[in-house]
């Protein structure tokens, strides 16, 4: 992804739009479900009104059991939702009007914003610091107190339509009280739960609508770029847990997400999928929302190779999963991006070339126009792709294993190129199978679910 030099634009917009206001939020419960609207104000010149809607289904608790718990979590959802609108002009001050933030909350939000916008700042060549990029002001004294919430031991599993959430849903779906959650349902995410044997009444559906004025600003040349989408998803899962009375939220983020995108920096496309964010988020929810909900990633002990191995053993999902952002609207694999090539590579040691060609429509390892992407994935360049891909070591191990499995057979173009590189010998000597038996000890998975995960890998 190419960089742009927008430092001057950053400074000009901050001068023109000196403040951003989180003005208000509102919500209503009806027979249809929960409707939420946020009101943001860009320096009295542009007002944004993004919305959320959660249809009422059989899992929805009675209004009397949830009503008092909604203001706090909705207020916090607004805190993360607004960053998509703030970044258009990056005003130096954000004023929080619907509720009060304690100093430790302000510090938490500044860290979340700054690290979650690391890619945005990097690709726009914006020089700033966590201390100086914004000041959060909380002038009102209305506090949202931490509350005890009645929950059962049910599990919410967010499903995005990729291989990771399919693995989590397959392994946890048989546990009583497990329910998938889908934000803005699309082809692959819906087909994943249908393949699991569920129907339209068996999942939590959240519909998020952006204010079209944000897109208008983008077209006019305001600042644009990546925001911490998974952080928004995290707060939405807590809302879902409150609405459904579930205690556990099981994400599908692996240990590989902890690797930074740019070497020797903290810039990580997947920051809000890291263990650091997961830990910070659980602490924030426990201290400022409720101690009764546990947020963790079920796949955190695993690497991408292990997830690929598990997914290969669940063939019913092979024809429906999609991980390609470029093809998400059409529910296809574009076959041209880093996510497509990475997924192809990580599954190649475990699925036949014929099966992979059936899934992706062609042999991506024979597409020489992806050579630059391969260099990024393998670490030949110092910059990984800005996408949700695994570590450079995992990619190299997978490629070496594919070549080994090919024996003396003919290799596709990208593998021939890779075999000619000096670094090939370095990874060829590493035992591929030992990587399939490693478990990262740094995780927050409950012990009973951790045992279930290890058992699945060793069966």
Same domain, residue pair 152 and 216: yes
Q: Tens digits of per-residue pLDDT, 295-318?
A: 999 999 999 999 999 999 999 999
Same domain, 359 and 212: no
Can you give the residue range of the structural domain that contains 394? 336-438
The residue whose two tokens read 């650091």 is: 276
pLDDT in tens, 192-239: 999 999 999 999 999 999 999 999 999 999 999 999 999 999 999 999
377 and 265 within one domain: no
Indicate the pTM of the whole model: 0.96
- Whether residue 451 lies inside any domain: the answer is no
Do 286 and 237 share a structural domain? yes
Instruction: Collect all residues with Cβ–Cβ distance below 8 Å to 364 and sequence separation of at least 6.
Output: 335, 340, 341, 344, 345, 356, 370, 414
Q: Is there a single domain that holds both residue 265 and residue 371?
A: no
| Residue 305 resides in a domain | no
| 52, 170: one domain | yes
Out of 277, 297, 317, a domain closes at 297
Domain total of the chain: 2
Same domain, 291 and 379: no
For the record, the structure tokens of 220 come out as 């006019």
pLDDT score recorded for residue 315: 98
* Whether residue 243 is found in the same domain as residue 364: no
Closest residue by Cα to residue 250 from 151, 169, 163, 195: 169
The answer to whether residues 28 and 148 belong to one domain is yes
Does one domain contain both 277 and 360? no
Based on the fold, state whether residues 276 and 366 are members of the same structural domain.
Answer: no
Q: Is residue 378 part of a domain?
A: yes
Please measure the distance between the N-terminal and C-terminal CA atoms of the chain and give it in whole angstroms.
40
pLDDT per position as a tens digit, 157-205: 999 999 999 999 999 999 999 999 999 999 999 999 999 999 999 999 9
Is 166 within the bounds of a domain? yes
pLDDT of 56 over the 80 cut: yes
Structure confidence by residue, pLDDT tens digits, 342-382: 999 999 999 999 999 999 999 999 999 999 999 999 999 88
- Is there a domain that residue 57 lies in? yes
Domain for residue 444, yes or no? no
Specify whether 375 is located in the same domain as 243.
no
């Amino acid at each position: 992804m190419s960089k742009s030099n927008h430092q001057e634009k950053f400074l000009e917009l901050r001068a023109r739009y000196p403040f951003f206001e989180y003005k208000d939020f509102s919500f209503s419960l009806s027979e249809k479900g929960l409707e939420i609207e946020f009101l943001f104000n860009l320096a009295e010149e542009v007002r944004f009104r993004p919305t959320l809607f959660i249809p009422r289904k059989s899992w929805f608790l009675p209004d009397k059991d949830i009503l008092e718990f909604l203001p706090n979590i909705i207020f916090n959802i607004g805190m993360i939702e607004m960053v998509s609108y703030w970044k258009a002009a990056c005003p130096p001050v954000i004023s929080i009007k619907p509720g009060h933030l304690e100093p430790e909350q302000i510090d938490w939000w500044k860290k979340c914003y700054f690290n979650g916008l690391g890619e945005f700042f990097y690709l726009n060549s914006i020089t700033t610091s966590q201390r100086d990029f914004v000041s959060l002001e909380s002038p009102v004294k209305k506090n949202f107190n931490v509350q005890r919430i009645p929950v059962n031991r049910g599990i919410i599993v967010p499903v995005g339509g990729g291989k990771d959430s399919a693995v989590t849903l397959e392994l946890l779906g048989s546990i009583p009280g497990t329910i998938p959650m889908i934000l803005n349902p699309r082809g692959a995410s819906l087909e994943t739960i249908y393949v699991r044997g569920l129907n339209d009444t068996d999942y939590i559906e959240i519909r998020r609508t952006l204010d079209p004025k944000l897109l208008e600003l983008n077209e006019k040349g305001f600042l644009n770029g990546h925001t911490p989408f998974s952080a928004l998803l995290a707060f939405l899962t807590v809302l879902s847990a409150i609405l459904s009375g579930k205690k556990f939220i099981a994400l599908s983020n692996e240990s590989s997400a902890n690797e930074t995108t740019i070497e020797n920096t903290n810039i990580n496309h997947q920051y809000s999928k890291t263990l650091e964010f997961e830990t910070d988020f659980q602490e924030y929810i426990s201290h400022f929302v409720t101690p009764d909900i546990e947020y963790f990633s079920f796949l955190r002990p695993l690497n991408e190779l292990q997830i690929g191995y598990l997914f290969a053993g669940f063939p019913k999902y092979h024809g429906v999963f999609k991980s390609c952002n470029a093809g998400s609207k059409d529910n296809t694999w574009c076959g041209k991006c880093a996510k497509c090539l990475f997924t192809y590579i990580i599954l190649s040691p475990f699925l036949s070339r014929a099966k992979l060609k059936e899934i992706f429509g062609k042999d991506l390892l024979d597409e020489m126009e992806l050579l630059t992407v391969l260099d990024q994935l393998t670490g030949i360049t110092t910059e990984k792709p800005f996408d949700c891909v695994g570590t450079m070591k995992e990619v190299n191990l997978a490629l070496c294993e594919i070549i080994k499995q090919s024996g003396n057979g003919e290799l596709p173009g990208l593998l021939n190129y890779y075999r000619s590189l000096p670094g090939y010998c370095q990874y060829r000597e590493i035992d591929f199978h030992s990587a399939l038996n490693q478990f990262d000890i740094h995780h927050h998975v409950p012990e009973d679910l951790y045992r279930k995960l290890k058992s699945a890998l060793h069966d």
